[in-house]
Amino acid sequence: MKFGVVTFPGSNCDHDMIDALRNDLGQEVIELWHKDKDLSMFSTEDCIVLPGGFSYGDYLRCGAIARFSPMMQSVIEFANKGGRVIGVCNGFQILVEAGLLPGALLRNENQQFVCKNVYLKSDNPVASLTKDVTGRPLMIPVAHGEGRYYADQATLETLQANNQILFRYCDEFGNVVEDANPNGATLNIAGICNKERNVFGLMPHPERATREVLGNTDGQLIFQSLINNN
């Protein structure tokens, strides 16, 4: 499986992602610049990654300007053909702004930037990103000021009916409780996918949890699930 990691002006987790995929997971990684358009080196079996950071300084809304980068039109076309796309943190915000994922990411409920380890749990046994980690709490860092997932009731019902919720914030024992929610996200949602389950958005940063020296390797399990179920 081949990964393409897109860098936007203001991206600051692109090299974290590249390093985790290339050196910790042993995957082929191609670095992509936001002004380029060519994705011809990727097949629909491969994956494009939109990393975290502050694309275009988060002016207007997070991800609102990056959505219009030349590369994003190619990413949208790639996703519509069935190619896999992952957006992490700011990348998740860009996917929402681009219309590839439903809902919105709002300012954290406490109006503060949150940076800490949290726990996530997936009850989604069908999405390739979660198939191998279903039912177990994973410790993954978050770092965001506008990560509170919100969607109207009709959208939430659709997400639940189509098994599009990837992860929910939980405690260390896997209990999905309000106290484990770092940002006030609706239904404790930490990540979702599209109906076709080839576009994935996560607020937490699995690329920051892939190495023993970081004190945490749970992020490897998420990426490995995607690779194993390609």
In the set 97, 146, 170, 205, the catalytic residue is 205
- State the catalytic residue, choosing from 34, 97, 170, 207: 207
Burial of 105 (0-12, 13-18, 19+ CB in 10 A): buried
Is 13 in the active site? no
Determine the Cα–Cα distance for residues 222 and 3; give it in Å rounded to an integer: 15
- What is the chain's length? 230
As given in the structure block, the two tokens for residue 172 are: 């260390």
CB contact at 8 A, 52 and 143: yes
- Sorted by sequence, the CB contacts under 8 Å of residue 131 that are 6+ apart come out as 124, 125, 225, 228, 229
109 is catalytic: no
**Which residues make Cβ contacts (< 8 Å) with residue 173, sequence separation at least 6?**
137
- Identify whether the C-beta of residue 185 lies closer than 8 Å to the C-beta of residue 177: no
Catalytic residue among 13, 62, 89, 170: 89
Q: What residue type is 63 in one-letter code?
A: G
- Is 89 among the residues known to form the active site? yes
First to last CA, the chain: 8
Q: Is 117 exposed, middle or buried (0-12, 13-18, 19+ CB in 10 A)?
A: middle
Residues 156/187, Cβ–Cβ less than 8 Å: yes
Active site residues: 89, 205, 207
